[in-house]
């Protein structure tokens, strides 16, 4: 059981998304939370989620609203102890053509979360961020970088009463709308499009993303960015497991897409600590944050060597095909189970 969440009221923005819904289920099953509130703007997904989750203890609540609406967030955050901010617009090509929609949700919406949390006295707030926020080349990544900065520096306005931190990870295997999810739900895959055979990505499961957030909640002092030591894998290997017989077409790297992603830059590594399963980026602005609060990380882990960076193309931890196949088989079984419900 997760002791740190006992008798706490937790709200998840974007709670009907892949991470949000899985995190909510994890909390209801493995913790003694007082209440879990799903905050999202999609009434259909809320209705489906409500019918899917067996909430025998009646701890689950649904709150319809948009993070763009500060007044609605103020109402939703009343009496809440912990907020997990997972709401975001994420489709890279779509956001390139609808840029200010991304700004309104990912940047202004994140600032609204910061303001509402401070005003309502929320204890802890965590932003779900992405590797695309690191040295971004597309609008989505740029908006998530802004959101990270807003959260980290939100601590300077909270007076220590509300703590803000971030978690940052790469691709989640089987998340809704991902390439894995799309391919597995097709009855037959005859052809797949590869952008570049050299392309690599960080991969983790939904459960691992939940564990990262729980680790952050248990340890955060306010201002940190927590990063999972996720394994890497080439996309060509992904397709060889999911659709081994399908024809492959090389289409070239798309606009706003990187050949390799980065989770921790060389510059960030200068003020980061390596733990057993995670990296923790310590905030640089010690004139704002008390340095003593972060001493525990130096006791828990080690400083990184000069010139270190965590990139998926140089990552020593590679996700092998057999392990990936086992994960895919589990997802396939879950898809079959869901279709029969």
The residues, any chain, with a CB within 8 Å of residue 63's CB and separated by 6 or more, are 11, 37, 38, 39, 76
CB 201 within 8 A of CB 194: no
In sequence order, what DSSP letters do the residues of 102-132 get, joined into one string?
Answer: HIIIIIIHHHHHHHHHHHHT-SEEEEEEEGG
Per-residue pLDDT, 152: 96
Q: What is the pTM of this model?
A: 0.94
Q: Residue 338: count other Cβ atoms within 10 Å of its Cβ.
A: 9
3-170+205-230+263-311: CATH, from 3.40.50.300, 3.40.50.720, 1.10.645.10, 3.20.80.10 = 3.40.50.720
The DSSP bridge partners found for residue 40 are: 64
At residue 287, the pLDDT reads 46
C-alpha–C-alpha distance, residues 160 and 315, integer Å: 36
Give pLDDT, residue 175: 86
Catalytic-residue membership of 132: yes
Answer whether 83's CB lies under 8 Å from 113's CB: yes
**Confidence (pLDDT) at 190:** 87
The Cα–Cα gap between 151 and 90 comes to: 18
Q: What is the DSSP letter of 253?
A: P
Structure token digits, residue 327 = 């994960």
Question: Digits of tens for pLDDT over the chain (341 positions)?
Answer: 578 899 999 999 999 999 999 999 999 999 999 999 999 999 999 999 999 898 888 999 999 999 999 999 999 999 999 999 999 999 998 999 999 999 999 999 999 999 999 999 999 999 999 999 999 999 999 999 999 999 999 999 998 899 999 999 999 998 887 888 888 888 778 888 888 999 999 999 999 999 999 999 999 999 999 999 999 999 999 999 998 888 898 999 888 889 999 999 999 999 999 999 999 999 987 544 556 888 899 999 999 999 999 999 999 999 999 999 999 988 887 766 565 55
CA dist 75 and 77 (Å) reads 6
Instruction: Tell me which of 25, 90, 132, 258 is the catalytic residue.
Output: 132
For residue 139 the two structure tokens come to 């609008």
Tell me the H-state helices in 53-166. Answer: 70-76, 92-97, 99-102, 109-120, 139-158
Q: Are strands 191-194 and 163-169 parallel, antiparallel or unpaired?
A: unpaired
Give me the pLDDT at residue 299, please: 93
Q: What is the pLDDT of residue 127?
A: 98
Q: What is the spatial distance between Cα 65 and Cα 42, in angstroms, rounded to a whole number? A: 8
Residue extents of the structural domains in the chain: 3-170+205-230+263-311
Cβ contact 171:206 at 8 Å? no
Which pLDDT belongs to residue 144? 98
Counting every residue written for the chain, the total comes to 341
Q: Given 3-state DSSP classes, what are the helix, strand and coil percentages for the chain, each rounded to the nearest 5?
A: 45, 20, 35
Who's near 253: CB < 8 A, 6+ residues apart?
195, 196, 199, 259
């Amino acid at each position: 059981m997760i002791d740190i969440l006992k008798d706490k009221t937790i709200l998840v923005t974007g709670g009907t998304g892949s991470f949000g819904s899985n995190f909510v289920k994890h909390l209801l099953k493995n913790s003694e939370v007082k209440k879990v509130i799903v905050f999202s703007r999609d009434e259909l997904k809320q209705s489906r989620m409500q019918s899917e989750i067996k909430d025998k203890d009646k701890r689950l609540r649904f709150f319809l609203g948009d993070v763009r609406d500060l007044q609605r967030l103020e109402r939703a955050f009343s009496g809440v102890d912990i907020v997990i901010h997972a709401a975001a617009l994420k489709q890279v090509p779509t956001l390139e053509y609808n840029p200010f929609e991304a700004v309104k949700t990912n940047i202004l919406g994140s600032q609204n979360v910061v303001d509402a949390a401070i005003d309502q006295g929320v204890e802890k707030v965590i932003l779900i961020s992405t590797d695309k926020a690191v040295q971004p080349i597309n609008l989505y990544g740029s908006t998530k970088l802004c959101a990270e900065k807003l959260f980290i520096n939100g601590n300077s306005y909270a007076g220590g009463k509300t703590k803000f931190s971030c978690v940052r990870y790469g691709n989640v295997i089987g998340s809704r709308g991902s390439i894995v999810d799309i391919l597995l739900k097709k009855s037959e895959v005859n052809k797949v499009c590869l952008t570049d055979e050299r392309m690599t990505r960080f991969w983790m499961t939904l459960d691992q993303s939940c564990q990262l957030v729980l680790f952050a909640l248990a340890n955060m002092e306010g201002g940190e960015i927590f990063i999972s030591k996720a394994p890497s894998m080439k996309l060509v290997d992904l397709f060889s497991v999911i659709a081994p017989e399908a024809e492959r077409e090389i289409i070239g790297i798309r606009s706003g897409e990187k050949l390799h992603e980065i989770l921790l830059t060389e510059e960030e590594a200068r003020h980061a600590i390596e733990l057993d399963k995670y990296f923790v980026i310590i905030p640089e602005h010690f004139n704002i944050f008390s340095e003593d609060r972060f001493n525990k990380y130096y006791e828990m882990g080690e400083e990184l060597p000069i010139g270190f960076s965590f990139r998926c193309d140089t990552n020593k931890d590679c996700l092998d095909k057999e392990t990936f196949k086992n994960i895919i088989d589990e997802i396939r079984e879950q898809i079959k189970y869901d279709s029969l419900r």
